[in-house]
Structure 1
Amino acid sequence: MKSSPRKRVLALLASATALAAATATMPSSPATARAASDPEVLARHLLAPLSLAVSKYDVSFVSQNFGGPVLRVEPGHRTREVTGGAGEVGGLSRRGRTLTYVLTGEGTPEKAVAFVMTYKDGHSMKLGNLGRAETNRNPDGDVEYGFTDLDPTCADQIDQETFGPPVHNGAIESHPYASAKIGGTTYVADAAANLVWEVSSDGNVKVLSILPPLPGEIDAGVAEEYGLPDCTIGETVLNEPVPTDVEVGPDGMLYVTTLAGEFPGAGAVFSIDPSDGTTEPVVGGLFAATGLAIAKNGDIYVAMLFPNTILRFPAGSDIPEEFATINQPAALEIANGHLYATTNVLAGLGFKQRQVPWAPRTLPHRDGPAGKLVRWTL
């Protein structure tokens, strides 16, 4: 597929037609565990709240990725603006009094624009230049994505204006989407670069792990959505992994969710050893996985935005249980005995199209942003 639509996470999540096709082909439904009760609503009218951080004092920080400021949500549901930037702000994580976030600007095919930032005591500072690292190195530039063993006569029938080239390598592009910290080191899941960056306290940026391509099968729904010829149905595509969240588990490992484009069941959770970058699959069969949280006992919670579902994988198991059905969940965090989530994250965004040209264009026009911050007691 064209590199820009596929790697821009928000554009990937926006297609209502892909949603309809995907939900019809989702893997069999997970088992239902103890049903979650209706959550407590902490904040409303949020603008694409795709990232979240929570302090030990029940203070939440919520991003508004389509151009709004980061909000601080205090007990009693009081909110105030914290910080923003000239670009997309997201990827929140919190350690002590320091809030870490990522800032993505509009790049070019030859230059990526993205930074890791810190915010403390009312001041923002640049920590690491991810865009420069991606531009200079393009770590997945040698990785091949796309169809495997597709007959050349079939490949010739693909409309590359709609789908992109049948086979392509990783392009120069950075769209950091989530961050996590261990000590003085910041780890960033970069959805466009298809990797996890390691950023030291002095701003040095290096690659920790390049996530592997994830296989998906073309079905009739995907073929129709992208105008693909019938000869592609049943063929395998190696998807760009598109990492969307990174969290630190109780075992000291990093855990990462992957979106894997529009292929139902191609998404996964990986574990990454922060000492050497060793990367292993943990669970698979996911679709539109945009958020991740790890409980102290090792239970894994995954938000799947399109299926409107939060899954729970009991510690040591790759068999999901349905924790909650809720509209458009995205970011997840566990803190203070609660599971926090942002929901309804793409609702009511039609009026933002002129301000954010790459924002979803298939969403209904509504009266304003309708994202929410909610939480359940675990």
Structure 2
Amino acid sequence: MRTPTALLAVTATVIASFGAAAAAQAADDHRSDVPPPGDSRVLADGLMTPLSLGVNRDGDVFVSQDFAGKLTKIDSDGHKTDIAQAGPDRSLGAVSTRGDTVYFVETANDHTYSKLMSVSSDGGDTEEVADLYEHEADENPDQDNTYGFVDLPDSCANQIDQTKFPFIPATYDGVVDTNPFATLPLENEIYVADAGANAILRVNHDGTVETVAVLPPRDPIETTAELVASVGYPECAIGYDYRFEPVPTDVELGPDGWLYVTSLPGGPESDILGARGSVFKVNPDDGDIELVADGFVGATNLTVSQRTGTIWVTELFGGDNDKGQVSVIPAGSDDPEEYLDLRSPAAIELRHGSLYVTTDAFVLDASGAPQPIGTVTEVPLGGDGHSDDSGDH
């Protein structure tokens, strides 16, 4: 796919607010075996598109300001310090931590450059860990996937305007495209969810990159007049099935040793075609893929309890009026439930018995540009047995 943020930009502005009252109501609504959320507190605000974050063992938060190309450290007092800056015409994202090291990915806006980088949690010189674009250019992991219309007649396909930008053919195979959206550092390797490659990658200790799994194309959706008009396809395409890209946006380790992955549906991120976001699990040893749950709107991130297997998912455009929400999948369930009513939540981590969530992460102004109003919010969890980490595994 071209980029998740490009797809997000065509979705309507999300507006809402949240507070302790909403959290209390959510606590009444979800199952008793899921810990209730406590009163939230904002750790930092004024962030530009905070689409990923990591929390280290000391409680320091490291958050990306993707469109500004910054990696920002937030200490326990809420003080913000920029510790890394992407180069010109590059974004910075896919933040994670392990020990005293922070990992992130720097990506060119045209997706012809993408490198996994590291920096000390105290700042300093950045170091290259792996060249992710080189792997995509050499291997193109999803080249055997076919996307687009199913059995659309040539007479209709030939009417598609090739001068439109971005031009999307009627039917196409996976192209060379890299947009790493999340990283997961473990003891001997780092896993990467690449939303451009539609694949989960593994970076080994020597910097070599290999493909763990390629997510399959989504089940075909019958196109509507609204969808055809929004993309600029000819009217003759209405009613034909269309197969979207799977678009992985996060990767986390579950207590069963599998990798858990959120997936955008590769098309409209609103619910005009239904709530089509998903959570998958991937066996890191053989690449086997299983569906855990679906029914999300804009599933951009997840975190998994290492003790209970409970999964929390940020839905950038979920909830009432597409304002955004955090959903929870109780352990052993495939049925997501509303957990927190938040505005435009993007990233989430479980650490020290609290959820850390970025909110107001993609709220557009009147001109359609994202605003620098993002926050990092801490939500403590009630009950016992949830002080586990999803950071240093």
Please name the residue that 1:92 is paired with.
95
1:323 alignment counterpart: 339
- Range 221-230 or range 179-188, more displaced: 221-230
CA contact (8 A) 1:18 1:225 kept: no
DSSP-derived class of the 1:123 partner:
coil
Q: Secondary structure at the match of 2:6?
A: helix
> Which is worse superposed, 185-194 or 121-130?
121-130
Q: Note if 1:293 corresponds to 2:297.
A: no
Distance 1:63 1:10, change over 3 A: same
CA positional deviation for 1:32 = 4.2
- The residue aligned with 1:118 is 118
Paired residue for 2:146? 144
**Alignment partner, residue 280 of structure 1:** 290
2:369 aligned to which of 353, 363, 366:
363
Q: Aligned with 1:341: secondary structure?
A: strand
Partner of 1:353: none
Instruction: Say if 1:289 and 1:302, in contact at 8 Å, map to a contact too.
Output: yes
Counterpart of 1:26?
Answer: none
Task: Summarize deviations over 1:340-360 as a string: whole Å, max 9, x none.
Answer: 11111123678xxxxxxxxxx
Matched, 1:221 2:226: yes
Q: Deviations over 1:164-192 (max 9, x none)?
A: 21101111111111000221200000111
State the distance in 2 between where 1:224 and 1:107 align. 26
CA deviations over 1:72-112 (Å, ceiling 9, x no partner): 1111211211112212111011111111111112447xxx3
Query: Contact 1:107–1:173 (CA<8 Å) still a contact in 2?
Result: no
Q: Which residue of 2 aligns with 1:265?
A: 275
- CA separation of 1:229 and 1:245: change in aligned 2, threshold 3 A: same
Q: 1:218 to 1:36 in 2, by over 3 A?
A: farther
Deviations 1:260-299 (A, max 9, x none): 2215433211111112222111112222111111123111
| 8 Å Cα contact 2:13-2:363 kept in structure 1 | no
Q: CA deviation at 1:235?
A: 2.9
* Contact in 2 for aligned 1:269/1:282 (Cα 8 Å): yes
Partner of 1:302: 313
Q: Relative to structure 1, is the Cα distance of residues 214 and 18 closer, same or farther in structure 2, using a 3 angstrom cutoff?
A: farther
> SS where residue 13 of structure 1 aligns?
helix
- CA 1:343/1:113 → structure 2, altered by over 3 Å: closer, same or farther? same
1:13 maps to a residue whose letter is: L
Q: Give how far 1:221 is off.
A: 3.2
Which amino acid counterpart does residue 312 of structure 1 have in structure 2?
V
How many residues are matched? 347
Structure 2's unaligned 5+ residue stretches are 16-27, 319-323, 382-393
2:137 alignment partner, SS class: helix
Please give the alpha-carbon distance, in whole angstroms, between the structure 2 residues aligned to 1:17 and 1:129: 35
| SS of the residue 1:212 aligns to | coil
SS in 2 for 1:75: coil
* Pick aligned residue for 1:175 from 176, 179, 182: 179
Q: Which moved more, 1:11-20 or 1:311-320?
A: 11-20
Give the Cα–Cα distance (whole angstroms) in 2 for the partners of residues 338 and 217 of structure 1. Answer: 41
Q: How far is 1:233 from its partner?
A: 3.7
DSSP 3-state at the match of 1:145: strand
Aligned to 2:79: 78
Deviations 1:18-41 (A, max 9, x none): 989xxxxxxxxxx94278566211
CA–CA separation in structure 2 for the residues paired with 1:51 and 1:339: 13
- 2:35 aligned with 1:33: no
Structure 1 range deviating more: 196-205 or 303-312: 303-312
State the SS of the aligned residue for 2:275: coil
CA contact (8 A) 1:105 1:114 kept: yes
- 8 A Cα contact 1:267 1:287, kept in partner: yes
Shift of 1:155: 3.1
Say which SS state the counterpart of residue 312 (structure 1) adopts. Answer: strand
Q: Is residue 10 from structure 1 mapped to residue 21 from structure 2 by the alignment?
A: no
Change (3 A) 1:66 1:266: same
For 1:143 and 1:229, the matched residues in 2 are separated by: 24
Please say if residues 57 and 99 of structure 2, whose CA atoms lie closer than 8 Å, have aligned partners that are also in contact: no
Mapped contact 1:247–1:255 kept (Cα < 8 A): yes
> Match for 2:357 among 341, 345, 358?
341
The residue type equivalent to 1:280 in the other structure is: E
8 Å CA contact retained: 2:14, 2:363: no
Give me the whole-angstrom Cα distance separating, in 2, the residues matched to 1:349 and 1:191. 25
- Name the % identity: 37
TM-score by length of 2: 0.82
Cα distance change on mapping 1:295 and 1:166 into 2, 3 Å: same
Cα-to-partner distance string for 1:301-357 (whole Å, 9 max, x where unaligned): 11111221211111111111101121111011011111111111123678xxxxxxx
Q: Is the 8 A contact 1:47 1:68 kept in 2?
A: no
Specify which of 233, 236, 241 is matched with residue 241 of structure 2: 236
C-alpha distance 332-217 of structure 1, shift in aligned 2 (>3 A) = farther
The residue type paired with residue 361 of structure 2 is V
The match for 2:193 is 189
In 1, distance between residues paired with 2:283 and 2:374?
A: 34
Question: Which residue of structure 2 lines up, in the alignment, with residue 166 of structure 1?
Answer: 170
Q: Amino acid of the residue matched to residue 250 of structure 1? A: P
CA distance in 2, matches of 1:280, 1:252: 14
Does the residue aligned with 1:16 lie in a helix, a strand or coil?
coil
CA distance in 2, matches of 1:191, 1:134: 12
- The corresponding residue for 2:54 is 53
Which of 358, 373, 376 is the aligned partner of 1:373? 376
> Which residue identity lines up with residue 33 of structure 1 in the other structure?
H
Residue 207 of structure 1 pairs with residue 202 of structure 2: no
Aligned residue for 1:193, secondary structure, equals: coil
Which of residues 229, 249, 257 is equivalent to 2:254? 249
TM-score, structure 1 length as denominator? 0.85
Q: CA deviation at 1:203?
A: 0.2
Q: CA RMSD in A?
A: 2.4
User: Which whole-Å deviations, capped at 9, do the CAs of 1:214-265 have from their partners, x for residues lacking one?
Assistant: 1233234323322334443443211111111111112221111111221543
Give the aligned partner of residue 131 of structure 1.
133
